[in-house]
Chain A
């Protein structure tokens, strides 16, 4: 049983989120309509995850989150109507674990909640092995040739696996299509070869909750691809 706090000044949105989360039997929801209320709820209850709106009157979501971070490391997912890159980056830098842009897709909300909860719960039990590459929710066990997302094994083709491994070995580094082709296929690409791009697209669909807005496997347009280091 996980306790989830939903905080938004729009009551209808809180209710809708409540209905979505209630569809999963293991979630118990708490509600708050202001930043101050949210801080109180987190203080008084054992909360496993917070869904927090940024744009709220009086105390905004980011301020409330910073206040919560002072006494708790509970995962926080920000809900933002702005959709501005600067807000996302600010939120992530100040301790948010993830963000969802409004108007949101219910499926995405559930997936992100699930992902964060798994990581939060597993954090202590995870065993560090040299052969295991881990970035955020992604875990690549090179011995078993298995890739796990939030602990769940994901079915990858051999090429996809090799590409992911290549990128994960040096997170943050940008690999051009040509380099990836050279390393993974051990061959030179010819002409209008977009094979790598197609594979990346497939890989993204498998590991990202919303492939149009990837959190891990990012496209650096005109340069190549990379795995985000800190996600």
Chain B
């Protein structure tokens, strides 16, 4: 879209034009400035009178002073020569003096010739002490300017004082073509051209600005390419380019002779200055365009030698630093600090500036201290995260914000570990839950046919059956059906309890009251099995946070086990004690069968003290009891000591 105006020929034309315009602009502005200083633009100046101009009077003064100086030195020499010619006895010397006087005469004649009216419009009359007229070219012509200068000359040897007066005239109109007439011509021409020059100055300046703006915009653009492209010198590092530009600029200025000024040849001088300015402008334009390209490419800072060196050093240090262990890093810092301290210390002490060293030490202490503190704060965050993860809070993620290298890595690793463990746990939980659901669903499906079995066995029992063997078989059927029913119920409960798939309604309840209630429920039933329940509870209440129904199920399981497996004629102990902020409930009974397995194994599902499995019970009771206790944040432990079976339930006391 913008391709055409950024095409290469257009750009080159613009560059060429801008250099040209710059030259034009320099000249016109320079001239305009001169015109202003000459008062050309003063509205009162309607026409230019050369005879009244500074240029004319300057030329006159210059000529007058030259004449007076020359005349005076010639006059002095003539006097010397004359004196030595008269005084000298040496014939050779006298001859030389006479010759010298003759040459002075010649020179004076040449002088006369130089200022003759045939060559110049300048006329003068020289007066010595207002009397004699040694030289005069003025013959009473009409003049446009008359100036009179008086010079007083001291003779130190003879202690005399002479006065030289020169009367200068510039004839009007000009009689011959000389510097006055040509100057007058140019000045008059310039005066006539003053407005054109002003317009040219303004116009060329505006054009230059427009061209520069265009070129800055066009810099780096190419026809048909939408992004900025840099070629050639634009790829040279910017700081190098800057040095190059300055060098070329200074060389240019020196070679063009800046600082050397020849006032007599104003045209050459002006041309030279103009060329120099144009050259410097072209250089500057290129520099600005390069700057613009870099800004557009955002490579101004990056494409510099300074940046590269900085980057190289930084990367080098970082790479060196990164590959170190934390010990290496610390060592690196310590060595760095030691060197710095040594350097600063040497500097300060050698310059007797102990105060500065003290300040340095305080500063270092402050910086090191705050760094250490920052490290501690960050490390503490990681440590707390670890603690949380260790305590099972797997949703913890350590924020890595503000952490660097080693610590960050550590935190990220920890986060990954915790995420991995969390995923594993979630998977495990999901599979456990699915297992529970499967068990529950299957068990419910089993219950329906089981209901029929139980019912029809019961109905069969009521039939008038005479055969004793048939009756015996029916009894076996009934017993096993009831056992199956119990097994299924326990299975559902065990799977729910072990996966926490059970609603727990925690509330404050009194364990003393609960154990009394439990013993009330079981005392008669135990008595039927020739077992004596011994309950020991304190007088006061021992409140805990638990679900009463679930806690009852724990003791229900324990006591029904006691009923099933206790040696008849023994006692069953149920003790309630308090220990610090814990409530301990200890249950003990004597087993009828040898307990040849550990307490832990007893709590495994489907394990019973007797491995025969002939007695009633599912073997799930203790597993259920433990799961339920743990659901209430309690602890369930079993100890086996010979035939003594001991179960301990620990709950946290509430106030």
Residue numbers of A with Cβ under 8 A of B are 10, 12-13, 16-17, 19-20, 55, 81-83, 102-104, 106, 176-178, 191-194, 196-201, 219-224
Contact = CB atoms under 8 A, between A and B. Distances in A.
A223 B516 contact: no
Contacts of B524: 198, 201
Interface in B496-532: 509-511, 513-514, 516-521, 523-524
Interface in B459-509: 459, 485, 489, 509
A223 B518 CA distance: 12
9 contacts: A20-B455, A104-B455, A176-B513, A177-B517, A194-B523, A198-B524, A200-B520, A219-B517, A222-B544
A222 B447 contact: no
B95 to A, nearest CB: 155
Contacts of A176: 510, 513
B539 A219 contact: no
B551 A222 contact: yes
A196 B512 CA distance: 13
Contact of A12 (B456, B513, B521, B535): B456
A192 B535 contact: yes
B140 to A, nearest CB: 144
SS of B interface (majority):
helix
B447 A102 contact: yes
Contacts of B539: 191
Nearest to B549: A221
A103 B486 CA distance: 10
A197 B452 contact: no
Contacts of B537: 191-192
A166 B29 CA distance: 121
B451 interface: yes
B456 A219 contact: no
A221 B513 CA distance: 8
Contacts of A104: 451, 454-455
Contacts of A12: 452, 456
A223 B548 contact: yes
Q: Which 4 A-B pairs have the closest CB atoms?
A: A197-B520, A222-B509, A221-B548, A103-B451
B516 A103 contact: no
A104 B454 CA distance: 8
Contacts of A200: 520
Nearest to A106: B458
Contacts of A102: 447-448, 451
B536 A196 contact: no
Contacts of B485: 103
A21 to B, nearest CB: 12
A60 B419 CA distance: 44
Given A82-B444, A194-B516, A222 B452 contact: no
A222 B512 CA distance: 7
A40 to B, nearest CB: 24
B450 interface: yes
A219 B549 CA distance: 9
B517 A81 contact: no
Contacts of A220: 548
B394 interface: no
A213 B239 CA distance: 95
B22 interface: no
A221 B551 contact: yes
A222 B454 CA distance: 35
Given A103-B485, A201-B521, A222-B551, A16 B452 contact: yes
A104 B450 CA distance: 10
B520 A201 contact: yes
Nearest to A10: B448
Contacts of B517: 177, 194, 197, 219, 221-222
A117 B140 CA distance: 167
B282 to A, nearest CB: 93
Contacts of B551: 221-222
Most A C-beta atoms less than 10 A away, residue of B450, B516, B544: B516
